Amino acid sequence: MPIPKPGKKEDKEKFMSRCMGDPVMLKEYPDQKQRAAICMSRHSEEKKEMDEKPEVRAVSCYESAPRWEIRQEKDGPPKIVGYSAVFNSWSKDLGGFTEQISPGAFGNALKSSDARALLNHDKNYVLGRQSAGTLRMIEDDKGLLTEIDPPDTQWARDLMVSIRRGDISDQSFGFRVKTDEWRDEQGKTTRTIKEFEQLFDVSVVTFPAYPETTVAVRSMEAWQESQKPEPDLKPAEVLRKRLGLKTKLINMEKE
């Protein structure tokens, strides 16, 4: 039996109202308390799943977007080198907001992550890995400098030919944010990433897509909601609000 799922921009109150009134839910779960519990559980599960998803951002969406290049010293093996992220550079519109990364944002994440270098974010094409020493990332005053020792495989050799030719040159990286700051200035919403919690991958990409992710949108919507003035509430309503429940659901058994 399909249980309703929260919509992309649907808040908790709207989802609960829709879920509680869903014809299938009314038929399968006539008991209001049971139906409310199932709907609440569904909302929590979906929120947890979205919170665990990494955000993905293409370096080319920022103003100072560097490119991958191949470096080779004398007869040594070739390396893929480039900046996977740049500091203090505003992004293009990411779907209702623009963002920048503060210097120092990668420090702790570099120590706790075991990121992979991938081709087009595809886990089947691994170019390097932090724990293996074949992916090295250093935070300097410009951004996150990345150096990859690609494997001696046919697909990796073909990739390096394409990078040298300039056919493939873009980058993106997958991450989870620990601390960010949202602002609304002259009607424009901005986000400054202060600290990353984890880095999942840095990727050589053919097409640098950078649409907003649900994770980022939810973060923006939560901030916007927090900026709304607090209405005058009665003591009982304040308690319900703190519990994260609505009056209608608490008094359900009296309806």
Q: What's the rounded Cα separation, in Å, for the pair 45 and 209? A: 28
Whether 55 shows a pLDDT value over 60: the answer reads yes
Q: What is the pTM of this model?
A: 0.68
pLDDT of residue 144: 94
Structure tokens at 131: 């724990």
Report the pLDDT value the prediction gives residue 9, as an integer from 0 to 100.
60
Q: CA Rg, the chain, in Å?
A: 23
- Residues 144-165 have a mean pLDDT of 96
- The structural domains of the chain, with segments of one domain joined by +, span 1-52, 55-226
What's the average model confidence in pLDDT over 70-86? 90
State residue 47's pLDDT score. 65
Average pLDDT in the 5-26 region?
82
pLDDT at 252: 46
**Residue 205: pLDDT band with limits 50, 70, 90:** very high
Q: What pLDDT, in 10s, does the model give residues 116-144?
A: 999 999 999 999 999 999 999 999 999 99
**Concatenated DSSP letters for 140-192?**
-SSEEEEEE---SSHHHHHHHHHHHHTSS-EEEEEEEEEEEEEEEETTEEEEE
- The single-letter code of the amino acid at 62 is Y
pLDDT at 53: 77
pLDDT at 247: 47
According to the model, what pLDDT value does residue 155 have? 97
- pLDDT digits 0-9 by tens, 24-33: 888 888 998 8
Per-residue pLDDT reduced to its tens digit, 217-227: 778 877 887 77
- Rounded distance, CA 5 to CA 45, Å? 10
Window from 24-38, 84-98, 159-173, 218-232 with minimum mean pLDDT: 218-232
Q: What is the mean pLDDT of residues 197-204?
A: 94
Does pLDDT of 178 surpass 60? yes
Length of the chain: 255
Percent of the chain whose pLDDT exceeds 90: 46
